A = this chain, B = another copy of it.
């Protein structure tokens, strides 16, 4: 029949959205790999590339075993508690904090999950996000981190730290998200594609790692002044930036999860527009801010600014006006420059500036959502969802900047920021602390001098010779 034909086509459409969207998000791994390799010294390039690839692989296994379950597993029981007075399905108290089903994708056919419709593709799409969160810190601890500690940390974030945050914000049984059952302030925290859930989490983990592992040898001179340690390839930085930009068109627009209504399609398109404008504004602000300071046009600075714009808009790309996106991205670029300056003052060495970029501008994006999320747009996103995961408050709280706002949304955003900071720093300080206690956090100085590639990974990323013949050859001879 036409109705069942439509059902199939609709599911197919939503599956396609998440399939290619997830693939784009995965490609951001390629972007991170190139960006990070280019932005550090070549003697550690293989190390950081391996970490990125390993993050993708380990996170997949951890996501299968426990991560997806902790994040989105709802179980049968949770969904059965229909509460008439509140008109919503209610989870157990535990389930407000953490998911409790679907480990190893067990019973995925009968169990309900807190993400989208088609379960297999949901798992895939959400994994790609998890992998992104896991790989963000690599840049902060680059060039001096112990590889075993990295392996442990990667597993720990993928299986525990990130899934719990994702559950709070994005699973209907969580306690934090907008439109979940009984959210904070009867409003809830809006974070569309994860300025907080992903970027703050990853960036803060990295920043804590950078502080605890200490600066690279020679990063600060005897007087404590920073010594430039430029990356080895601007080409790779640009390639990485462009791949990340490309991937962000999966990250943000596809986070609508379904695209089969006029509202969802509208939101999806708007997310692409605001994302573009925020990134552009961030890049331009950083370019001119850099010119103001150095009288030079800084390529890497512009790339960073663009990425900051993307990080910031990720929380609210679906619910802000285009002009607001430009403000969001532009301020993110300047805010990032300030944070980088601050870190150097504090003698913290974050080679990729992943702390300022992902934690700093991610936090700004979450906060900004509380200011300029527009009610009309919020309705488009959330109005269809009550039937699916319980009743949303009829008030649809919105940004404090708009008239008659009760500020509940801004309050929720701040609660979200504080909760993420508390959870991530608590976990990561403990985790890194244990490694530090056993002196397993940092590589020995002689290894750092030689470089991780030669010491631990059997060679160099670049081989200029051409094997047993002395003829021929490039690059570099």
Contact = CB atoms under 8 A, between A and B. Distances in A.
Interface of A: 2-3, 5-20, 22-24, 26-27, 29-30, 33-34, 37, 41-43, 45-46, 49-50, 52-54, 56-58, 60-61, 64, 104-105, 118-124, 127, 147, 216-218, 227, 229-236, 238-239, 241-243, 245-246, 249-250, 253, 259-262, 264-266, 268-270, 272-273, 276-277, 279-281, 283-284, 287, 294, 296-299, 302-303, 306, 322-323, 326, 449-451, 454, 456-469, 471-477
The 4 closest A-B pairs by CB, nearest first: A476-B476, A120-B269, A121-B269, A30-B242
B469 A323 contact: no
B217 A469 contact: yes
Contacts of A15: 259, 265, 268-269
The interface residues of chain A, by DSSP majority, are classed as helix
A246 B23 contact: yes
The residue in A249, A281, A298 that gathers the most chain B C-beta atoms within 10 A of its C-beta is A249
B306 A57 contact: yes
Nearest to A62: B280
Given A46-B299, A57-B284, 11 more contacts: A2-B6, A19-B268, A30-B239, A37-B235, A49-B234, A52-B238, A53-B306, A64-B326, A127-B276, A461-B474, A464-B476
Contact of A273 (B46, B120, B303, B476): B120
The residue in A20, A41, A57, A270 that gathers the most chain B C-beta atoms within 10 A of its C-beta is A57
Copies of this chain, how many?
A: 3
Contacts of A227: 467-468
B475 A476 contact: yes
B467 A41 contact: yes
A58 B305 CA distance: 13
B243 A472 contact: no
